[in-house]
Amino acid sequence: MTCRPEDVWEALERIRTRGPLIHNITNYVAMNTTANALLAIGASPVMAHADQEVEDMVGIADALVINIGTLSEQWTKPMFMASRKAGQRGIPIVLDPVGAGATPYRTRTARQLLEAIAPAIIRANGSETMAMVTADSRTKGVDSTAAAAEALTAARSLHAEFGSTVCVSGPEDYIVGGGRLFIVGNGHALMTRVTGLGCAASALCGAFAAVGGEDIPGATAAAMAVMGIAGEIAAAGAAGPGSMQVGFFDALYGLTRQDIEGRLKMTVREL
């Protein structure tokens, strides 16, 4: 994929036409937001984390999203089980290492998942990305203490080691993969005041990857662009975080080709 608006629009149209099933093993805080975002964009969400059924659910899914936001020992086993099944089926896996760098347990679990599954996409903020490479990096709870641009070296290192497309989110999103660097400048500061939108971004990456064929970096860039454009539209009519969240779902649902053509801020460079 290039950085053309028509590429982003065509990817969105494929989701709306095909309605891919996105299996999420995600956190309690973000489940509702994630499910609503996927529904609004035209995908079909399922939230399943019981080890008795995760392999069966992955067996019918089009992508798997692993999010460690509310991490517990009972959830790690299903994460590994689901990831192995997804790997056998060859469907995209998205890893969101929420809060990596905040505690040794969280960082260790995120790294173990990364090494076990080599996901198609890693989507994280700057601090989380850096923590996946070096234990010296620190995260403020689940919030980044590093700008996305600062994490570019770590993103390139992760891509080189695991082959994953790495998306570092921030005021500008940096997507590293396939010999390219996508820079997405869409979004709004009010998005950071609504919990779960970062987790929703990971789920949208899963939806776009599910219909994106071999071009995982391009699919990831398209997902982040759509996420940011919807955020801009929602923020324009929002009085605060509450109406921002509702407006975001409405913007995703009603997003048009003209919205993308008029707002897309994306560049791509060779690495």
The confidence score (pLDDT) of residue 146 equals 57
pTM: 0.94
Q: Cβ(269)–Cβ(234) under 8 Å?
A: no
* CATH at residue 160: 3.40.1190.20
Q: How many domains does the chain divide into?
A: 1
Closest CA to 148 of 120, 181, 119, 178: 181
The confidence score (pLDDT) of residue 142 equals 43
Mind spelling out the 3-state secondary structure of the chain? CCCCHHHHHHHHHHHHHHCCEEEEECCCCCHHHHHHHHHHHCCEEEECCCCCCHHHHHCCCCEEEEECCCCCHHHHHHHHHHHHHHHHHCCCEEEECCCCCCCHHHHHHHHHHHHHHCCCEEEEEHHHHHHCCCCCCCCECCECCCCHHHHHHHHHHHHHHHCCEEEEECCCEEEEECCEEEEECCCCHHHHHCCCHHHHHHHHHHHHHHHCCCCHHHHHHHHHHHHHHHHHHHHHCCCCHHHHHHHHHHHHHHCCHHHHHHHCCEEEEEC
Q: How far apart are CA 49 and CA 73, in angstroms?
A: 12
pLDDT tens across the length of the chain (271 residues): 667 999 999 999 999 999 999 999 999 999 999 999 999 999 999 999 999 999 999 999 999 999 999 998 889 999 999 999 999 999 999 999 999 988 999 999 999 999 999 899 999 999 899 999 875 545 444 444 556 677 899 999 999 999 999 999 999 999 999 999 999 999 999 999 999 999 999 999 999 999 999 999 999 999 999 999 999 999 999 999 999 999 999 999 999 999 999 999 999 999 8
Q: Cβ(249)–Cβ(204) under 8 Å?
A: no
Written as one letter, the residue type at 202 is S
Q: How far apart are CA 106 and CA 114, in angstroms?
A: 12
The confidence score (pLDDT) of residue 148 equals 65
Structural domain boundaries enclosing 140: 5-270
Structure tokens at 22: 């996105």
Say which residues have a Cβ less than 8 Å from residue 92's Cβ, sequence separation at least 6.
Answer: 63, 64, 86, 119, 120, 121, 206, 209, 210, 216
